[in-house]
Structures are given as C-alpha cells and as structure tokens.
Amino acid sequence: MEGGVEELSEVMPRVLIVSRRTVRKNKFVNFVGEYHLDLILSYGAVPVIVPRVTGVSSLLDSFEPFHGVLLCEGEDVDPTLYMDASELPALTPEELEEIKAAHSSDTSIDKDKDSIELQLARRCLERNIPYMGICRGSQVLNVACGGTLYQDVERELGRKSGVTVQHMDYANYDGHRHPVTIVKDTPLHDWFADSLHDDMQINVNSYHHQGVKRLSARFRPMAHAPDGLVEGFYDPDVYKPAEGKFIVGLQFHPERMQHEESTNPNPVFDYPGCPRAYQEFVKAVVAYKKKIEKTTTRAPWIEKQRKELVYSFSLAKNLYEEQRKGHSVHNGNSALLALQMTSSKSQQELNVGAHFLKANSPLNKQQVNRLHQMGATVRGSKVFQHALEINRKKESAARKWLEDMSREEVHELHEFYKMMVDVSQKVLDEKPNS
C-alpha cells in the first residue's frame, strides 16, 4: 500500500499549501483546513503542506517541482507590505487598538508566513503557475501585484459607502452568510450560472476583517459585496484552465459552504458552483504539469537557460507594467526607475535578459542598407561579410532556442520585445544629443 501511495505522489501533480501556526497545550502547532485538502485530492492532485516554520522562506526551491499553489486563511497581512506612505492614515491609533481588541486572533502579524506566501505568489505570477487564493490568500495575491488592503473593512469601507455588511461572525463560523453580486462573463459567473437569478446574487460564507482596497491593475473583479468590497477577482490574461492557466482570488470561502449533514467524500454544498473553483484549479494544475513535462526532454543547460530568460523577461515586464499602470507614467523613465529600485538579486536576474538581447540582435534589412550607405563598400566588404556571418549565426542560434519554446512563451517574448523597443525609443527621444 505504501508503495502505491509513493507512485501516486510521483504521477499526480503537486499543490503547495502553506500551514497556519497556532498554540496548543502551550506549544506551537501547524495546521491546514481539511476541506481544502479533501477537495484538492478529490479532483486529482496531491496537496503538499509547506510548514510555517522560521527559515522555510529560504528553502522554497526544495519543494520543486510543484504545479500549483493554494493559499488560504490566516492572520492579517502586515500593513507595512501594502500601505502607501503618501496616504494619510485611514484609522486613528485609538481605532487600531479597538480593532486589535475585537480581532485579537487575526490582527497578530506573522512575518514568516507573509514572507513564504508572498514568495510563492510571486513565483506563480512570474512563471504562470496556477494559483488560487482563498480569504487571506486572495489578499496576498493582490499585495504581491502592488494592490492595497483595508485594515478593517467595516470601519473604512462602511464609513465611506454608508453600507454595513457583516463580513465575519465569531459565533457562527461556518454558518454565517452574506450576499454578493457576481459580475457577468467571469469565471464565477460560469461556475454559479445554474444558481443565479436576475439579481446575479448568491449568499457566501466569509470570515475576515481585512479586504481589497485598491485592486491591482492586472486583475478584474468577479463579485462585490453590498458595501462594494471586491469578493473575487482573476487575471483575465491567465485564465484558461485547460491550458494550465489559473490566477484567481476569492475573499469568501466556497469550501465551507456545506450543509450540516454534509459528509466526506460526498459533501453537499449550498450551490453546485462551490466546488467548481477547486475543480477548475486542479484542471489547470494537471494541464500545467503536462505542459512543463514536455520541456524535460531538452538538455538540462538549455532548460535552465530558458527558465532564467523567461523569468528575466517576466520580471522586467511586470516591473514596467506596474509602474505604468499604478502611477500613470507613460514614458521610458518609469521603466528605468522601476529597474533602479529593484534589489541587487533582481538586477542580476534582469541582466540575464539584457545580455541575451545584446548578444542576439541580428541586423535587419534597414540596418544592412544603412551600412552600405555608410561606406560598406568593396574595400571593407570582408569586414562587412564577417559581421553578417556572425549575425547569421546568432540569428540561427536564437531561432533554435525559440523553436524549443511553446507558442505562448514565444508570444510573451515577442510582446516584451515590442514593449522594450517602445521604451528605448522614448528614452532616446528624451536624452539630449551629445
């Protein structure tokens, strides 16, 4: 029996889930809600628990390979990770103390858990690994992309909207419900289509007092509470489960929307759409595993170089887009500023892509004609021909490298090149002639 389990773990895709720490009998223990684990297993993936232990954040490479990440409930995300220093404090010190007293089990900050989960979220975003965030996991996803959070939804958003919504009920943890309105033509709309009426509403379970304040520019809302809070969002550019694409955040808990008589392995949910989030997530995880397995036949050094380059281009693209969308700066200086603000490690990773661009830039027809015009005559033809031969070899090597990539990866690289051409032209236009 044990051998069979080992074989399954090797064949089935792996989903990382970070545990939460609590105190039991005066000792720290780690735990993960079994509803999540049951659903992941039931749809064909293996949940792998990442323990919330000091030092794990520097050992995440040890959990490779993984094919999806599910982040769920936990303490508040550290406000210093998302608060804008230019904004005035939304809450007074007295209000913050009242919030801590009212939500003592959630307002304690766990920097180790924040570090582990933000790193995993960013890896998923950079490599298009399927990611699903439930409750805190959706907040981590938004923060990882430059979004912000309300420190206390009922005080901040309720004060602004004039609408009070009870987002948590300590006395009725699983039974609490509040309405949300689902946005048409989104994954949530698809999952709950059979249960929706003209008002596009369902009643959901939630247990939180933080929530999305400014949604990252890359995401699209999928549902709102009556006070306007975003209750679900996704990346429309990374949502094709059958192709291994899934980046979704849900503030509510579909896994807990079960009837009291519900039993494993046949739970009875409030709506047929509740388990669809997990079903579609695992579908993406399975497809992602199949996709990356196609690359394992390449020589190890080629695959390593490919991953480094794709990561480098993705990092540069995300930095540029976040600066451009988040701050409405539409010139090349925004990209340069973003690159200058990155860590030394990120600079090294960005340099990988920069060196590739520099080393693999074959001459185009216009450049060849320009060289002729500038004096590439018969007298200098040997030098000119030698330069062309070198560039032909570079072009051939680049073509071979690109042919080993998927169509999606080539498209992303092509879009990145176009963006870099635009940025460099704007920077050149702004530079004084020397």
The active-site residue out of 75, 154, 231, 255 is 255
DSSP tag of 146: T
Q: How far apart are CA 151 and CA 83, in angstroms?
A: 10
Catalytic residue among 72, 124, 135, 274: 135
Active-site residue flag, 135:
yes
Annotated catalytic, 253?
yes
The 3-state DSSP composition of the chain as helix, strand, coil percent (nearest 5) reads 50, 15, 35
Q: Which of 32-57 are b and which e, b meaning 16 or more Cβ less than 10 Å from the residue's Cβ? A: beebbbbbbbbbebbbbebebeeebb
- Measuring CA to CA, how many Å separate 430 from each of 332, 340, 425? 9, 18, 9
Pairing of strands 68-71, 131-134: parallel
- Whole-number Å distance between alpha carbons of 384 and 394: 15
DSSP 208-256: -S-EESS--TT-EEEEE-TT--EEEEEEEEEEEGGGTEEEEEESS-GGG
Integer CA distances (angstroms), 190 to 195, 224, 245, 276, in order: 10, 16, 16, 9
Structure tokens at 98: 């009242």
Active-site annotation holder among 36, 103, 209, 253? 253
In DSSP terms, 234 is beta-bridged to 220, 248
Active site residue ranges? 135, 253, 255
